[in-house]
Structure formats: C-alpha cells, structure tokens
Amino acid sequence: TDDCASSPCVHGPCTDGVGSYTCSCENGWTGQNCDQNMDECASSPCTHGTCTDGVGSYNCSCENGWTGQDCDQDIDECASSPCWLGGTCLDHVDGYSCVCPKDTTGKNCETDIDECASGPCQNGGSCYDDINSYTCQCPIGYQDDHCESDIDECASSPCTHGTCTDGVASYTCSCENGWTGLNCDQG
C-alpha cells in the first residue's frame, strides 16, 4: 500500500517506504509530518532585541541604541557630530556625551561661557566676549591685556628743562628756574 496516499506530510513531499513514509520538510517546518513551525528564535539570534518567529525566518525588534538584522550593531550617535564649538563626542549605547573645551558648556557644548562676566578689564576698559576668549579695549592712558598698566607719558622725556610727573593720559612738567612752557622748553 502507498503510505503517502493520505498526504500525511503537511509542508513537504512524501516518500513512500515499506510500511512507512518519510517527509522532507520545507524550510521552516519540522516534525514527522512537517506540521510544526520551526522556532527560529530558539537560538536567541537577536543580541539586543526581541525576536518574532516567522515561517522559515525571524524578525528582530531592536532595543534603543542598537541596529542590524540581529540587533548587534551599536548605533553611532556621534555620526551626526552633535558636539559644537570644538567639543569631542563620546558614543555610548543609546546615547552620547560631549567633552567640552574650556570655556564652553551645555549638553552639546553649545554655550560659550561669557569670559567678560568676571570683569577682567581694569581701569574702565571695555570687554568683548569671543568663543573661548575675550578682548579688552583700553581707555586712553592704559595698556596691556587687561588695561592694568598706566601708560607712562613721561617715558619720552617731554620736559626739556624740568621734571616730569606722570598722570592718567597726561603729564605735568615742573620747570627749572628760568624755563617755562608746557614742556619747559621756553627760556
């Protein structure tokens, strides 16, 4: 008798034997009669995700921060260059962090710290903030990076016949006997 006559193989061809039959199962099916869906998720193929079994296949739903067919590739959140003003991006699973250069702050180093807030310019100098730096514009009579130095108007020896006294943006000559004028140069 033909043991395959009753079509016992649900998902695959039947081979008749002597008093028996053999089923050759299609991909994704198992069991003596090829009637059991093979669980492709049994081997846990989704490294960082949830496996959904299909017929002859599976599908992974990845956890946040992971991608790839088997959820085994970390998404590089630094690929979009999220750190500003020279910040260095460090990729993490499902996120990133920025190492900000000196004088910047914020999650993405997006905020330049106002270097003028501490009042670095002395003697009435005006401070102009820049990225990671500042510039002092000194009032007349002062100089150097922070306007900390009074310009010595006596350095050029303006008093021809007298003693020079330095002031702020000015000088005064004390003339020797017999000499007059702003610079003691009239005799």
Where in the chain are the domains? 1-38, 46-75, 77-112, 115-149, 152-187
3-state secondary structure 116-182: HHHCCCCCCCEEEEECCEEEEECCCCEECCCCCEECCCCCCCCCCCEEEEEECCEEEEEECCCCECC
- 3.20.20.60, 2.60.40.10, 2.10.25.10, 1.10.3720.10: which CATH number matches 115-149? 2.10.25.10
Give the confidence band of 102 by pLDDT, cuts at 50, 70, 90: confident
For tokens 């106002």, the residue is 114
- Fold designation for 46-75: Laminin (2.10.25)
- The per-residue pLDDT of the chain, averaged, comes to 94
- pLDDT, tens only, 122-156: 999 999 998 878 999 999 999 999 999 999 999 99
For the segment 2-12, what is each residue's pLDDT rounded down to a tens digit? 999 999 999 99
What single-letter amino acid sits at 144? Answer: D
Stretch (H or E) spanning 54: none
pLDDT in tens, 157-168: 999 999 999 998
Domain spanning 1-38, CATH class: mainly beta
Report how far residue 96's alpha carbon sits from residue 82's, in angstroms, rounded to the nearest whole number.
9
Question: Using CA of residue 124, residue 129, residue 135, residue 137, what is the dihedral sign?
Answer: negative
Query: Torsion-angle region of residue 68: left (phi > 0), alpha (psi -120 to 50) or beta?
Result: left
Does 1-38 match 77-112 in CATH topology? yes
Q: Give the tens place of pLDDT for each residue, 35-55.
A: 999 999 999 999 999 999 998
Which residues are CB-neighbours of 156 under 8 A, at least 6 positions away? none
Return the pLDDT at 131. 80
According to the 3-state scheme, what is the secondary structure of 67-113? ECCCCCEECCCCCCCCCCCCCEEEEECCEEEEECCCCEECCCCCEEC
> Is the domain covering 152-187 a CATH 1.10.260.40 domain?
no
pTM to 2 decimal places? 0.50
Residues in Cβ contact with 146 at an 8 Å cutoff, skipping those fewer than 6 apart? 120, 121, 122, 125, 136
The residue count for the chain: 187
